[in-house]
Amino acid sequence: MSATEKAGHTFLASLGKTRLRPGGVEATEWLFSQSQLTPGSQVLEVACNMATTAIELVQRYGCTVYAIDMDKTALSNARNNVAANGLENHIHVMAANANTLPFADNSFDVVINEAMLTMYADKAKAKLIAEYYRVLKPGGRLLTHDIMFTAQKLGAGDQDQLVDVVKSNVSPMTRQGWRDLFLNCGFEQVLQQNGNMSLMSPRGLIRDEGLTGAVKIVFNGLRTSENRRRFLKMFRFFRSQRHQLNYIACCSVKGK
């Protein structure tokens, strides 16, 4: 598949980017701070990608993580990364569909799902969240990380350009829209943090990947004419929309 056809996160991963979430390490760290995890906690990560987050969770908290995805390449990369860190006894990587999770009700203390709900229409978002709610224990926490509109929505042309740049049907919501979505799905409390997206900004790249990693990504992004067209298109779009698009991190708490 050419650089122009790949989904945005797949293209960035091909350049060497390891943090493929809109708010990068800042948003993920906030989610961790809300997790209340212990070594005995059972965690489900939906759309685990390369297992970066799952590995960090286990290294920090000693918990058990079930890391699921539907993408075969992502699952292969996740298994390799887990093995390289010697965490096979703590992280169980498996193929599973988020719409029909192969787990019993009330199984997990935490469900974490970063940069996926944004890719679904609102009714489909609610269906996924209902499934996450089902497998969470009473008092459990759903940790999500997505894209947020700072105003009601983008203009029609800008929304079309967002879909074209990311190569996916991106459907962000406002801060209040995300809150209402989780509350309407049964969650008792929703805590939120939002801020500037870090995917393409120079400051965000350095914060997420370190200076050497950021330089490598930019070099790879500009190295060939095909990569350069895609990389600059993404960079210019997200820069032009930096005041309209934020990341949002939500901690939604299930009632006891």
Per-residue pLDDT of 133-160, as tens digits, reads 999 999 999 999 999 999 877 777 778 8
| Strand-strand pairing, 173-174 and 189-196 | unpaired
DSSP letter for 186, please.
T
- Name the average pLDDT for the chain: 92
Residue 174 β-bridge partners: 149
7 band by pLDDT with thresholds 50, 70 and 90: confident
Spell out the residues 6+ positions from residue 178 whose beta carbon is closer than 8 angstroms to its own.
Answer: 146, 148, 190, 192, 248, 250
Contact 252, 178 (CB under 8 A): no
Q: What is the pLDDT of residue 36?
A: 97
Please enumerate in sequence order all residues whose Cβ is within 8 A of that of 68, keeping only pairs 6 or more positions apart, or say none.
44, 45, 46, 47, 48, 93, 94, 95, 96, 98, 101
pLDDT for res 33: 97
Q: At what angle do helices 122-135 and 175-184 cross, to 10 degrees?
A: 50
- Residues ≥6 apart with Cβ < 8 Å to 217: 12, 15, 16, 17, 205, 209
Instruction: Give the per-residue pLDDT at 40.
Output: 97
Written as one letter, the residue type at 53 is T
* β pairing state of 136-149 and 245-253: antiparallel
pLDDT score of 103? 98
d(CA 198, CA 201): 5
Domain 8-253 bears CATH identifier 3.40.50.150: yes
| Residue whose entry in the numeric block shows the structure tokens 């079309």 | 160
Average pLDDT over residues 68-81: 95
